[in-house]
Amino acid sequence: MVYTTSQATVARGITVKIGNDVITEITDDGVPIPQTEVDDIEVTNQDSGDWKEYKAGRKDGGECEIKANAVDGDAGQSALAAAATSGATVLFTVTFPSGSVLTFYGTVKTYDHVVEDQILRISSKVKVSGAPTFSTATSALTGMAITAQSMSPSFAPAKFKYICSVVTGTAAVVVVPTQAAVGSAITVNGVSVASGGNGSVNLGSAGTITEIDVVVKELSKAASIYHITVFRA
């Protein structure tokens, strides 16, 4: 008998954003994944015989729930609460360990605190608006570095998550991405950067974490997102 290695992806390290804010400490059962349904439109007529006939109607992204350990002052959780109050339609971005990205717009219907297993958590119901999009990431960089700093693991085009630790006195870092295809559009935390150019990112105060997204978009391809978590001692 021949055994093959499973190609399963461990669901660890998924990030969820509302707008540009990461929602921290999402629980395993709190990752929002739209479940699409399709309306059934009956078109039975006198020529249908003994069986009813149907056509596919409009699609509905349904409703999904975001659950996370409650963290006072967290920007993402605060943005969820604000969206629930305003009723605005906002963008959600779910990034998977492989680098693939799910995006959808939705309205935040509820934002509540709940106690589960003795832990204080937040629970938020989101009604999906319009069509969700799923993009499979491609390896769009041949190199990426943070000047005067080291990343873990070492950069590889198909690796999309990195960690960098800096000393207390480091107030900013400079990310240098190198494109794989000429003409790619590159942004560092939303700011356009040329291939081989410098994307400067200011860090939070000592003892905080700063998240950096390097987004690379090749013509006619899905965007690739390289994520760097910077720890400032």
For position 115, what pLDDT does the model report?
97
d(C-alpha 52, C-alpha 164), whole Å: 61
Whether cis (ω within 30° of 0) applies to the bond prior to 153 is yes
Residue 2 pLDDT exceeds 80: no
For position 183, what pLDDT does the model report?
85
pLDDT (average), residues 119-127 = 98
For position 54, what pLDDT does the model report?
97
Among 168, 176, 173, CA closest to 202: 173
Domain architecture of the chain: domains with CATH: 15-42+52-135 (2.40.30), 141-232 (2.60.40)
d(C-alpha 98, C-alpha 75), whole Å: 25
For residue 138, name the pLDDT band (cuts at 50, 70, 90): low
Residue 161 pLDDT exceeds 70: yes
Bridge partner list, 126: 64, 108
For position 139, what pLDDT does the model report?
62
What are the tens digits of pLDDT across the range 48-105? Answer: 999 999 999 999 999 999 999 999 999 999 999 999 999 999 999 998 887 788 999 9
pLDDT (average), residues 140-164 = 91
DSSP notation for 150-186: --BS---TT--EEEEEE-TT--EEEEEEEESSTT-EE
- Cβ neighbours for 213, distance < 8 A, ≥ 6 positions apart: 187, 188, 189, 190, 225, 226, 227, 228
What are the tens digits of pLDDT across the range 187-199? Answer: 999 999 999 999 9
Among 229, 206, 213, CA closest to 149: 229
